[in-house]
Amino acid sequence: MPIVQGDASAAPVRTPAARLVAACLVVGLLALVPVYASLGAQPSYLTLFSRIMIYGLAALGLNLVLGWGAMVSFGHSLYIGIGAYAVGMLSAHGIDNGFAHLGVGLAAGLAASLLIGLICLRTGGIAFIMITLAFAQMAYFLAVGLKNYGGDDGLPIAGRSTFGPLDLDNNLVLYYLIFAVLIATLYAFHRLVHSRFGMVLRGSKSNPRRMAALGFATLPYQLAAYVVSALVCVLAGMLLANLTSFASPAYMQWSVSGELIAMIVLGGLGSLLGPVVGAAVWLLLEEVLSSARLGLPWGLDDMLHDHWMLLLGAIVVLVTLGLKQGLYGWLLEPRK
């Protein structure tokens, strides 16, 4: 039955203009964080929001295969680790050139993602999840065994990457570099998912057999999407290593991939800004809940402080059950 104008039962549809305003608002707020940090004498905000943007970038990369390709990967933490160790290992040998870090990290990520993608994409469903998880855990234990590079204790990095005139030792410069990389990736992904490639990827998600009947070989498209998403996570790992001046095997644990998936679902699966919004909400809740003191009686305050992850998990469950499209999707995406 067609929906006539004025039908009260029709679901509200958000306009592209509303989504553009929301995108500009998010970008504008991120751009002004250093100003607020300077005026409020809160330099820690630069580090916090740099971390938010880095995890938003990694979640954005994973969302390409998860949200638009329906490939649930618990192994993308592996690529964050590759990026971090590319910076750490080269720095340990006295190579601080950022372009060398970038080249080695992306080359290693490309080789690993091609090999792993070709293996994993021969499967599907639970098997795909378990194989990606297995590869991430293999890389984690490999990093733990690298005693010359810190082993289980991780690898301290003496100095940040050098990119010519860019002084990444200045936290403000590093912040705006992360910001620029995030904006460039958002724009590139916007073009990508609305291109022929993106249409085929989404068609493969909805009905792979029909796409094959139409003459599209879905495997190359899925593999290309997997590789692109992995390289974005490598880039996020390199930025994370520069932010923390540390490379740790913990970056490769499957729980990091789980957090990225939670950020995507929280913000909005298959939406462009959803992963960034989800990363911001996740990490801000983590920051607030882990340090909050509400003054509750009978030891409840200490209990909540010690077990704040229970409260964080409850919030995520409520959002997931109540808002099927995530926070960003519920506010701005068309109702389906």
**Per the domain annotation, does 279 fall within a domain?**
no
Rounded to two decimals, what is the model's pTM? 0.90
Predicted pLDDT of residue 326: 83
Q: How confident is the model at residue 214 (pLDDT cuts 50, 70, 90)?
A: confident
Interval 241-262 mean pLDDT: 95
The boundaries of the domain holding residue 137 are: 43-253
Q: How confident is the model at residue 2 (pLDDT cuts 50, 70, 90)?
A: very low
**Per the domain annotation, does 224 fall within a domain?**
yes
**Per the domain annotation, does 306 fall within a domain?**
no
Q: Is the pLDDT of residue 268 over 60?
A: yes
Domain count, the chain: 1
**Per the domain annotation, does 27 fall within a domain?**
no
How far apart CA 91 and CA 331 sit, in angstroms, is: 44
**Per the domain annotation, does 97 fall within a domain?**
yes
% the chain with pLDDT above 90:
63
Predicted pLDDT of residue 301: 62
**Per the domain annotation, does 13 fall within a domain?**
no
Q: How confident is the model at residue 201 (pLDDT cuts 50, 70, 90)?
A: very high
**Per the domain annotation, does 320 fall within a domain?**
no
Q: How confident is the model at residue 16 (pLDDT cuts 50, 70, 90)?
A: low
Predicted pLDDT of residue 325: 79
Interval 88-97 mean pLDDT: 95
**Per the domain annotation, does 62 fall within a domain?**
yes
